[in-house]
Amino acid sequence: MPALPDIVVPVREGGTHEALRYALRSWAAHLPHRRVWLIGHRPAWAARVKHIPTRQDGNTKYRNTTSAMRLACEHPEISDEFIYCNDDFFVLRPFARMPVFHRGPVREVEAYYATRGNGNYLRGLRETRDLLVSLGHKDPVSYELHVPLPVAKEGMLAALDVGRHLDVLHKRTAYGVLSGIGGTRMRDVKVLHRGPAFSTTSGLLSTMPDAFAHGMVGRYIRSRFRAPCRYEGAQRRGAGAWHSR
């Protein structure tokens, strides 16, 4: 039986990171793994996690997350195959092993974002697509979904090296296409609004900060994962230190 993978999460500086708290609860309940690694910031309440501190001075979130990905792939203690997550990915049902999902052809994803005027992201999509086409992948698919992605270190490092001249590299897509990971097509699960129109049929959800804090999807996630998990700590009264529950 193959060893369980680690989970790797880039975490930005600042804030209380309540979405991460509930994401951790969902992973602890439903996503088999060995350890959780936080790269960047570590919230004071986080317990029993591994932490790689970083200086988040990459000018943009894209550079910061790419640096975090490279750190994860180069760290000798992180499993050779790991699950890459954002801090607002929620797993709603058990998965024996995290499947690979993709979003369909990049050209279709490009058409969607072109209607929204998504500047740097759209530019990075097009530049990543052009890079992949130049390498012989005539109609590449996109892996830019807001769901956990199984990653092999060697393949991801190769993708980061190939695309290192791009300041907004779509690293999930570059990795998925260049490594030929395949996968099943799905619609993105990111919830952008406060209303009730979201689906849980895939067993996966992601949120925008406002939707998590004030929307019905956030209320749903908090109701699903009420109990603290092993990755949360509690503060001693009258002390600045934190201890594990």
Read off the pLDDT of residues 200-245 as tens digits, 9 standing for 90 and up.
Answer: 999 999 999 999 999 999 999 999 999 999 999 864 333 333 333 2
Query: Domain extents for the chain?
Result: 99-144+161-184
Query: 22-36, 101-115, 225-239: lowest mean pLDDT where?
Result: 225-239
Report how far apart the first and last C-alpha atoms of the chain are (Å, whole number): 31
Read off the pLDDT of residues 124-172 as tens digits, 9 standing for 90 and up.
Answer: 999 999 999 999 999 999 999 999 999 999 999 999 999 999 999 999 9
Separation CA 228–CA 231 (nearest Å): 8
Q: Is the pLDDT of residue 57 over 80?
A: no
Read off the pLDDT of residues 191-202 as tens digits, 9 standing for 90 and up.
Answer: 999 999 999 999
More confident residue, 62 or 182: 182
3-state SS of the chain? CCCCCEEEEEECCCCCCHHHHHHHHHHHHHCCCCCEEEEECCCCCECCCEEEECCCCCCCHHHHHHHHHHHHHHCCCCCCEEEECCCCEEECCCCCCCCCEECCEHHHHHHHHHCCCCHHHHHHHHHHHHHHHHCCCCCCECCCCCCCEEEEHHHHHHHHHHCCCCCCCCHHHHHHHHHCCCCEECCCCEECCCCCCCCCCCCEEEECHHHHHHCHHHHHHHHHCCCCCCCEEEECCCCCCEEEC
Predicted structure pTM score? 0.92
